[in-house]
């Protein structure tokens, strides 16, 4: 997409063309906002395209639109990855293709190759510095996601590990004796795939997420992952080490030594795999938000910064009280809230957003935060 004149002033700029960015963009269109642009460093769905080839969605896709519900992995009303892809648990490449199809169908104005370098509030507007030049806007929606920002420095020697987000495909991993640090979704994912290939895996976690009594997959393993831990190959080849915090990784000759807080030391000839989660892109704009006690951005009821008016957050980093919106089916509930707030500030009625209410999504308040989301 070629950009307008450098002095053009957009009503809104969205940073990121992943699930959050594409979904928020379509919501802006439904709110009657046409003068906006999506800035994307790579291409639409790029983070999903970079998933390990074997990794699949832990939330199932099912075409439920005919009964008035959304496919759990849909970001736009009336669409379904299950219907489009004919896959219940899409892989990353599948879902990236789905997002591209959505962006094309709804004619989302995406400017690819525009890496956002800095965001500055100047008077009543924003100046967004990009690798392709400056962009001006009345509002900014930060939707840059998490996956391309893995957490790499959780303990001494973590740089010796290989983060699971940086592995193109698990089938290419060489060796027969692996240590995985982190027992949540990514850790169980890589462990299960290695076990299916007859590899020995020792899986360490500071807690025991595979035993959590919570029904909220934001804090406990999903059913999809729990099911895999019960497979014969997992039981035979994977040894679980709960309540073990890894304190350091070092090299000992040609091997790696993994130390835990209990003073135990474990050795492996293969570079340890790190499944410690993600820093998230919100860290890049931390100075534009107040911070909650957990470090995530503090937001008002419209998912807007409390210190920089006009700056909104969409995606997995959204938090309200003790409720975590880290899955698509959770954070998509906030798209219409953000779109409505921007439309109202522009003097638009946002009547097209009423369809979101009909589909069980929210426009006015935080009522979706009053329960554990297990839909």
How far apart are the C-alpha atoms of 353 and 369, rounded to whole Å? 20
Positions of CATH 3.50.50.60 in the chain: 9-148+278-369, 158-274
Res 371: pLDDT:
40
> Does the predicted TM-score (pTM) go above 0.85?
yes
Within the chain, residue ranges assigned H as helices are 19-30, 46-49, 81-85, 92-105, 185-196, 223-229, 232-237, 328-331, 335-345, 354-358
- Beta strands of the chain (E only): which ranges? 9-15, 36-40, 110-112, 116-122, 125-130, 133-142, 162-163, 177-181, 200-204, 238-241, 246-252, 255-260, 265-268, 273-274, 311-313, 319-320, 323-324
Residue 184 near residue 210, CB atoms below 8 Å:
no
Q: How far is CA 47 from CA 153, 280, 281, in A?
A: 21, 12, 12
Each residue's pLDDT, cut to its tens digit, for the chain (375 residues) gives 555 666 799 999 999 999 999 999 999 999 999 999 999 999 999 999 999 999 999 999 998 766 667 899 999 998 999 999 999 999 999 999 999 999 999 999 999 999 999 999 999 999 999 999 999 999 999 999 999 999 998 899 999 999 999 999 999 999 999 999 999 999 999 999 999 999 999 999 999 999 977 777 777 899 999 999 999 999 999 999 999 999 999 999 999 999 999 899 999 999 999 999 999 999 999 999 999 999 999 999 999 999 999 999 999 999 999 888 989 999 999 999 999 999 999 999 998 898 887 676 767 656 544 344 332
Any idea which residue has 């959505």 for tokens?
102
Res 366: pLDDT:
60
Superfamily of domain 158-274: FAD/NAD(P)-binding domain (3.50.50.60)
Average pLDDT, the chain: 92
Span 5-64, pLDDT tens digits: 667 999 999 999 999 999 999 999 999 999 999 999 999 999 999 999 999 999 999 987
Res 7: pLDDT:
79
Residue 218 near residue 313, CB atoms below 8 Å:
no
Residue 277 near residue 158, CB atoms below 8 Å:
no
**Six-digit token pair at 233?**
């190959």
Span 319-342, pLDDT tens digits: 999 888 989 999 999 999 999 999
How far apart are the C-alpha atoms of 331 and 312, rounded to whole Å? 13
What's the topology of domain 9-148+278-369?
Answer: FAD/NAD(P)-binding domain (3.50.50)
Res 368: pLDDT:
47
Res 70: pLDDT:
87
Tell me 345's DSSP state. H
End-to-end CA distance of the chain: 38
């Amino acid at each position: 997409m070629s950009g307008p004149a450098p002095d053009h002033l957009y009503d809104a700029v969205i940073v990121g063309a992943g699930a959050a960015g594409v979904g928020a963009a379509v919501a802006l269109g439904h709110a009657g906002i046409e003068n906006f642009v999506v800035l994307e460093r790579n291409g639409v769905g790029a983070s999903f395209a970079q998933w390990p080839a074997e990794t699949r969605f832990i939330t199932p896709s099912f075409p439920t639109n005919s009964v008035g519900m959304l496919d759990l992995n849909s970001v736009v009303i009336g669409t379904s990855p299950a219907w489009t892809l004919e896959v219940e648990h899409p892989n990353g490449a599948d879902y990236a293709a789905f997002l591209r199809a959505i962006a094309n169908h709804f004619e989302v104005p995406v400017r690819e190759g525009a890496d956002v370098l800095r965001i500055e509030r100047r008077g009543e507007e924003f100046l967004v510095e990009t690798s392709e030049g400056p962009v001006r806007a009345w509002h900014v929606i930060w939707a840059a996601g998490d996956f391309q920002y893995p957490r790499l420095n959780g303990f001494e020697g973590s740089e010796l590990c290989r983060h699971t987000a940086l592995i193109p495909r698990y089938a290419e991993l060489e060796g027969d004796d692996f240590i995985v640090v982190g027992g949540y979704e990514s850790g169980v994912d890589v462990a299960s795939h290695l076990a299916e290939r007859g590899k020995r895996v020792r899986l360490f976690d500071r807690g025991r997420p595979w035993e959590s009594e919570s029904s909220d997959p934001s804090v406990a393993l999903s059913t999809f992952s729990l099911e895999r831990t019960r497979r014969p190959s997992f039981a035979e080849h994977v040894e679980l080490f709960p309540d073990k915090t890894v304190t350091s990784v070092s090299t000992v000759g040609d091997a790696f030594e993994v130390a835990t807080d209990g003073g135990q030391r474990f050795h492996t000839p293969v570079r340890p795999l790190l499944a410690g989660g993600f820093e998230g892109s919100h860290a890049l704009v931390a100075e534009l938000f107040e911070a909650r006690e957990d470090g995530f951005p503090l937001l008002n009821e419209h998912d807007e910064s409390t210190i920089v008016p006009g700056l909104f957050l969409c995606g997995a980093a959204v938090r309200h009280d003790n409720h975590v919106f880290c899955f698509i089916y959770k954070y998509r509930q906030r798209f219409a809230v953000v779109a409505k707030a921007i439309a109202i500030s522009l003097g638009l009625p946002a009547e097209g957003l009423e369809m979101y209410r009909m589909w069980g999504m929210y426009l006015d308040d935080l009522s979706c935060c009053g329960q554990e989301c297990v839909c």
